[in-house]
């Protein structure tokens, strides 16, 4: 198969949702369609268990498991589909944000009863920043939930997406009969008793006005469906694939993942319209996937669970060219040549050594501490991929050394954990004190535990009253100097040496913005 064919058949995406909306169930159904797993429950058993928020040992255990589900690849209708796992746990939010930098499109799962929830809003915001094409799947139609039009409204107002319904439910909960596929003009009937064989009954039906509809779904449902489909045709635009690809239209499907209903409609549409590997921006230039020379970036680092083996797995997203095993590549930040003898590919939950991989693929590289998130690997060109920012954390604490004899171990451990993206560290300009910022409170315990177990170092925390960390920039050197001298005690550097303003409250931030209008405050590290 030619390079171009390999490229075009790849679709790399992530599923985003609020925990419990049905991401794991949907992933599993997709893998079943692709024949990548044979039995239901194979992914489920790997799932990050609920109610584990207060138990960091449980998170440690899950961390081990989640290597296996980081990338799940399967083949469907001659395409190679890579699903990148976007952990839905609340304390994994930043990891999830970063994974989204490595996808070309996303599927957003919304629970029909709960509607659009907070985590979905945050994740969709990240996709929108990058204009990632998104398809929405409204799940759990076998249960009572919100009215379809109200949901479309929520999708538009809360998520800011331009909804284009491609399927429409016929009733819901007890009355749920199936969906009308607006894209293919087909009635797809839900027959719950047949869920074991995963079959849907598809009735090709392109004339909703036909009296036959009454005999199939009953009078009341037929009338309702006709009315609703009329309304959809009046209110919502037709799908324009280019608009979808530009991130400006968002197809919406309805179904029930657990019953495997409506999933195939969405998957069939997905393989038709979802983008193949897209060009990627670097600080230097745009990298096209079909370039001859290989390039890629690290978007996730996974530490080994075994403290005796400090090696980690760095996940590389291939952006251009063909990646080959045992070939000399350039680690751009470290300006050093490296080759990889055991690059790993993932196929559902199986791992295997690969000889070559193509744009859109994810390869796991064994790493003894060379990589940090955002690093580029190329055939020689100095490229730095953009779009892998850090986000302002929400919780902060001072971190201190609790064992004076182990300060080196502490420094090393903290550095490596930050490179892995467990949390962010800021060093205050005035006194050199280290502040750790995380998305969830649990991360502090995880850091303490891992420092002890993996690095033999002890740390203690002290509360610090902070609201946000903002990266600052300013074109006017004098204005910057003035800001730096006036706000000295609130300034810090991140691990890349970038200047960060640590705002104590929303008010301090507002005042700083007002008093220093020439200084820009950014909520992500990339601006």
Q: Please give the residue ranges that form the binding site for ligand G4P (CB under 6 A).
A: 17, 19-25, 44, 47, 88, 139-140, 142-143, 256-259
- Closest approach of Cβ 48 to ligand G4P, in Å? 8
Cα separation, 182 vs 499, whole angstroms: 51
Helix (H) or strand (E) holding 2: none
- Closest approach of Cβ 29 to ligand G4P, in Å? 9
- Closest approach of Cβ 261 to ligand G4P, in Å? 7
- Closest CB to ligand G4P among residues 88, 413: 88
Lookup result for tokens 């997406």: 161
- Closest approach of Cβ 489 to ligand G4P, in Å? 42
Cα separation, 384 vs 218, whole angstroms: 60
Helices assigned H by DSSP within 382-423? 407-420
- Closest CB to ligand G4P among residues 117, 394: 117
- Closest CB to ligand G4P among residues 13, 501: 13
CB neighbourhood size of 326 (10 A):
10
Cα separation, 476 vs 481, whole angstroms: 9
- Closest CB to ligand G4P among residues 25, 70: 25
Q: Are 411 and 405 in contact (CB under 8 A)?
A: no
- Closest CB to ligand G4P among residues 22, 289: 22
- Closest approach of Cβ 306 to ligand G4P, in Å? 28
Q: Are 153 and 165 in contact (CB under 8 A)?
A: no
- Closest CB to ligand G4P among residues 44, 510: 44
Q: 440: which DSSP letter?
A: S
- Listed in order, strand segments (DSSP E) in 64-183 are 71-76, 79-84, 105-111, 134-139, 163-165, 167-170, 178-181
Cα separation, 117 vs 429, whole angstroms: 39
Q: 284: which DSSP letter?
A: S
- Closest approach of Cβ 107 to ligand G4P, in Å? 12
Q: What is the CA radius of gyration of the chain?
A: 25
Alpha carbon of 18 to those of 38, 108, 118: distances in Å?
A: 27, 9, 7
- Closest CB to ligand G4P among residues 166, 365: 166
- Closest approach of Cβ 363 to ligand G4P, in Å? 25
Cα separation, 141 vs 261, whole angstroms: 9
């Amino acid at each position: 198969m030619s390079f171009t064919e390999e490229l075009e058949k790849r679709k790399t995406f992530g599923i985003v949702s609020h925990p419990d909306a049905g991401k794991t169930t949907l992933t599993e159904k997709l893998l079943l369609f692709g024949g990548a797993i044979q039995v239901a429950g194979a992914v489920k058993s790997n799932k990050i268990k609920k109610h584990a928020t207060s138990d960091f040992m449980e998170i440690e255990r899950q961390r081990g498991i989640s290597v296996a589900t980081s990338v799940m690849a399967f083949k469907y209708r001659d395409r190679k589909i890579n699903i990148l796992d976007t952990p839905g746990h609340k304390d994994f939010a930043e990891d999830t944000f970063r994974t989204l930098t490595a996808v070309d499109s996303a599927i957003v799962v919304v629970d029909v009863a709960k509607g659009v929830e907070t985590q979905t809003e945050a994740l969709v915001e990240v996709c929108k920043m990058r204009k990632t094409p998104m398809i929405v799947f409204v799940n759990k139609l076998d249960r009572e939930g919100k009215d379809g039009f109200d949901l479309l409204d929520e999708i538009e107002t809360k998520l800011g997406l331009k909804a284009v319904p491609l399927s429409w439910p016929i009733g819901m909960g007890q009355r749920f009969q199936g969906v009308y596929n607006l894209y293919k003009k087909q009635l797809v009937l839900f027959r719950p008793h047949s869920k074991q064989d995963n079959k849907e009954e598809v009735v090709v039906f392109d004339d909703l006005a036909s009296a036959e509809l009454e005999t199939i779904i009953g009078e009341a449902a037929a009338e309702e469906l006709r009315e609703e489909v009329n309304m959809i045709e009046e209110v919502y635009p037709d799908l324009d694939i280019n608009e979808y690809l530009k991130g400006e239209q968002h197809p919406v499907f309805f179904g029930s993942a657990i019953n495997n209903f409506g999933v195939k409609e969405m998957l069939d549409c997905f393989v038709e319209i979802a983008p193949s590997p897209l060009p990627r921006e670097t600080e230097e230039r745009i990298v096209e996937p079909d370039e001859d020379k290989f390039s890629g970036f690290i978007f996730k680092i996974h530490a080994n669970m075994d403290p005796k083996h400090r090696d980690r797995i760095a996940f590389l997203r291939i952006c251009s060219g063909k990646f080959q095993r045992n070939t000399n590549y350039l680690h751009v930040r470290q300006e050093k040549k490296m080759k990889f003898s055991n690059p790993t590919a993932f196929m559902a939950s199986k791992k295997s050594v690969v000889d070559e991989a193509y744009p859109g693929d994810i390869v796991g590289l064994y790493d003894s501490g060379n990589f940090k998130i955002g690093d580029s690997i190329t055939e020689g060109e100095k490229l730095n991929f953009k779009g892998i920012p850090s986000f302002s954390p929400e919780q902060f604490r001072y971190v201190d050394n609790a064992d004076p004899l182990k300060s080196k171990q502490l420094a090393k451990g903290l550095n490596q954990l930050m490179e892995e993206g467990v949390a962010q560290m800021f060093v205050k300009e005035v006194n050199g004190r280290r502040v750790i910022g995380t998305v969830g409170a649990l991360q502090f315990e995880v850091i303490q535990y891992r420092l002890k177990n993996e690095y033999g170092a002890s740390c203690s925390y002290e509360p610090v009253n902070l609201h946000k960390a903002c990266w600052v920039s300013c074109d006017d050197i004098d204005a910057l100097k003035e800001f730096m001298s006036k706000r000295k005690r609130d300034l810090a550097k991140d691990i890349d040496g970038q200047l960060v303003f640590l705002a104590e409250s929303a008010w301090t931030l507002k005042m700083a913005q007002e008093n220093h209008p020439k200084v820009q405050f950014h909520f992500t590290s990339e601006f």
